[in-house]
Chain A
Amino acid sequence: MTRVFISRDSTALSLGAEQVAQALQQQAGDNITLVRNGSRGLYWLEPLVEVETAQGRVAYGPVNPEDVASLLDAGLLAGKQHPLYLGNIEELPYFKNQNRLTFARVGITDPVSLDDYLAHDGYRGLKNALNLQAADIVKHVTDSGLRGRGGAAFPTGIKWNTVLNAPAEQKYIVCNADEGDSGTFSDRMIMEGDPFVLIEGMTIAGLAVGASQGYIYLRIEYPHAKIALNQAIEAAYKNGYLGENIQGSGKTFHLEVRSGAGAYVCGEETALLESLEGKRGMVRFKPPLPAIVGLFGQPTIVNNVISLASIPVILDKGGEYYKNYGMGRSRGTLPLQIAGNVKQPGLFEAAFGVTLREILYDYGGGSASGRPIRAVQVGGPLGAYMTESQFDTPLDYEAFAAIGAVLGHGGIVVHDDTTNLADMARYAMEFCVEESCGKCTPCRIGSTRGVEVIDRIIDNVDKTNNTELLRDLCDTMLCGSLCAMGGMTPYPVLSALNHFPEDFGLPSSKA
């Protein structure tokens, strides 16, 4: 029986992977074992069909259901030539040149098979953690140099240490899976493609700080991730990897998935905690930090999916191993997400230090439309628009901060020269109007005023004064907002204004 792989990842499904799987199952019948894997993240090739051969996994793509008959005729099951033949998938430069630490198994294994997970080095990190003192687990994480992959880049080890040292009967591990930034999908890919690695990471976090309950706060827009997570959680419970007495250690960790309800601001950690408690997702004042007073008033680790999914490899191979990747104070790898108007969109896990230009042109292949790339927004809707002259910036938290940009969650949205940046600036304010929790004035009112001021600039009304007013308003939002929602909305607005003044009908800075 030949093993054939077709992804169950939602982007692959959005391109018809389910129909391809059905056609193949129907036509190849008993000759194949069909595995529904995660996606390798080479999305321009999805739906991808991979066949296990003596020469490795041979891929074909992008496959339509009507291609299946000719593929089988050509000898798909033996990995023979066909116009859609791509060769050994792992030899493609886009895949080969990555440093897949966190995504080691994604696209390779059956995401909900515990056996497959164990066969591919799964739960080795937990095994090590069970033999360590809590403080030593935290030390590995601190040594790894891992910083919060949600976007804020706070050192994970320091956060864990704070929770470890906070005395309480009950502590919590909360996974922030409210991945709402446009251009990001790495959390989704992990949850759909290797849910066990997140479960393992959270379990280790529980051991490290003495928390017996975990929650995954998952955005409602990710139904397939919810299915995969719940299947994996069930298997973990059944096999003693969750629940009481984990692997005979006497340690307890329970885990549950909770659904969000379409509020972007709930990606902010304190709003998320409010939402988990069953309230409006209103941002809390800090301090106290959630590490001291978090969920239900108890010490809580709130970490992003990728942060937690990076823990198992750190505990398996040691903090030093992870730290050897990267540059400066940005250690390890960042799963980059190349999206928008780009020819070869996908996930690219790389050590920090790779430049934006390499990602955009060497791997992304330039724009999808074939037109020049004009602007790139990195780090989601609250990230700055970057211009051609900044494309040589290495992907590093500090290097980005130095030029007023943010790396955030590693999402890169490409725009060609048909994009009007004044429209994008207006949209940034409009998005803030839509998603502000309403607690602080600069964000709640400032965003509405921001839309109005930008409209006046675009409509040529008292341009000089209104531009000054917009800058002043951005300054107020930046300095006076309670969280990043209002505090960072000025990033896309001001970067658009500074780099692309001509789109606002202002004199070009490049003249």
Chain B
Amino acid sequence: MQDYQSQQPTVLDILAAHRTMPGNLLPILHGIQDTLGYIPSDAVADIATSLNLSRAEVHGVISFYHYFRTTPPGKHTIRICRAESCQSMNGKALENHAKQRLGIDFHETTADEHFSLEPVYCLGNCACSPSITIDDEVHGRVSPEKFDQLIAACKGAN
């Protein structure tokens, strides 16, 4: 894990940029995660000080939302939809295949730090279930074979 000292200037810049924005905590957390890939636990104190909140309040917000993470993600984050539409098109089989193929469960990262696996509840791609995203790209009608191709393409590009 990176040393917070090297990350702190980024966090402080993001805090400064949002100082006057009403309801700024979520935009700040997004800003930090977009830049650093996650929200370092050491950043909580800085955020709390800047927003005049307790550390507990900031931690409470971070932990409430599924999207925010407090550990570094792998190079690519794969999100597999678990919702009903994808289930109706064998999403469960895809989910099991993905876990087996990557050798990890949800909320885990592969040992080579290539992939993190997260569940997601609906990507709005229900007309082409089952769906996954790899980073910001949505993929529809993902069979286990197509999943393997996408993974291979990701690895090839690295």
Contacts and interface: CB of A to CB of B under 8 A. Distances in A.
Given A275-B26, A278-B25, A424 B87 contact: yes
A368 B126 CA distance: 13
A413 interface: yes
Interface stretch (B6-14, B70-78, B97-105, B115-123): B115-123
Contact of B126 (A220, A411, A435): A411
Given A221-B122, A258-B27, A419-B88, A11 B22 contact: no
B26 A261 contact: yes
A60 interface: no
A275 B83 CA distance: 23
A266 to B, nearest CB: 8
Q: Please tell me the size bucket of the interface on A.
A: 35 or more
Given A261-B30, A263-B65, A415 B88 contact: yes
Interface in B65-101: 65-68, 83-89
A419 B30 CA distance: 38
A182 B122 contact: yes
A167 interface: no
B153 interface: no
The interface centre, meaning the residue of B27, B64, B67, B86 with most chain A CB atoms within 10 A of its CB, is B64
Interface stretch (A93-101, A335-343, A474-482): A335-343
Nearest to B61: A280
A260 B61 CA distance: 12
A258 B24 CA distance: 10
B154 interface: no
B137 to A, nearest CB: 8
A223 interface: yes
Given A339-B85, A424-B84, A221 B120 contact: yes
Interface string B126-158: 111101010011111100000000000000000
Contacts of A276: 23, 26
B32 to A, nearest CB: 12
B110 interface: no
Contacts of A281: 64-65
Interface string A1-37: 0000000001101110000000000000000000000
Contacts of B133: 221
Decide if the interface of chain A is mainly helix, strand, loop or mixed: mixed
A395 B25 CA distance: 41
B89 A368 contact: yes
Nearest to B139: A14
A509 to B, nearest CB: 23
B26 A223 contact: no
Nearest to A222: B124
Nearest to A44: B127
Contacts of A338: 127
A260 B120 CA distance: 14
Contacts of B22: 277, 296
Contacts of B61: 278-280
Nearest to B120: A221
Contacts, number: 148
Contacts of A415: 88
Contact of A277 (B23, B87, B88, B89): B23
Contact of A340 (B60, B85, B136, B141): B85
A366 interface: no
B124 A43 contact: no
A244 interface: no
Interface stretch (A183-191, A306-314, A318-326): A183-191
A279 B25 contact: yes
B126 A261 contact: no
A434 interface: yes
A99 B68 CA distance: 41
Contacts of B141: 15
A446 interface: no
Nearest to B136: A223
B109 to A, nearest CB: 18
Contact of B84 (A13, A278, A381, A416): A381
B126 A431 contact: no
Contact of B88 (A221, A263, A416): A416
A264 B121 contact: yes
Nearest to B25: A278
A44 B126 CA distance: 12
A346 interface: yes
A261 B67 contact: yes
Nearest to A265: B64
B122 A346 contact: no
A50 to B, nearest CB: 18
Contacts of B64: 263, 280-281
A340 B121 contact: no
A156 interface: no
Nearest to A431: B121
A345 interface: yes
A180 B82 CA distance: 12
A511 B113 CA distance: 55
Contacts of B139: 14
B127 A11 contact: yes
A117 interface: no
B65 A261 contact: yes
Nearest to B65: A261
A247 interface: no
Given A263-B66, A377-B84, A185 B121 contact: no
Given A15-B141, A261-B67, A280-B64, 8 more contacts: A180-B122, A182-B122, A258-B26, A262-B120, A346-B127, A424-B87, A431-B83, A431-B121
13 contacts: A14-B137, A15-B140, A15-B141, A183-B83, A183-B84, A185-B126, A258-B23, A259-B26, A259-B30, A261-B30, A368-B89, A381-B83, A427-B87
For the complex of A and B, list the 3 residue pairs with the smallest distance between their C-beta atoms, beginning with the closest.
Answer: A278-B25, A182-B83, A262-B67
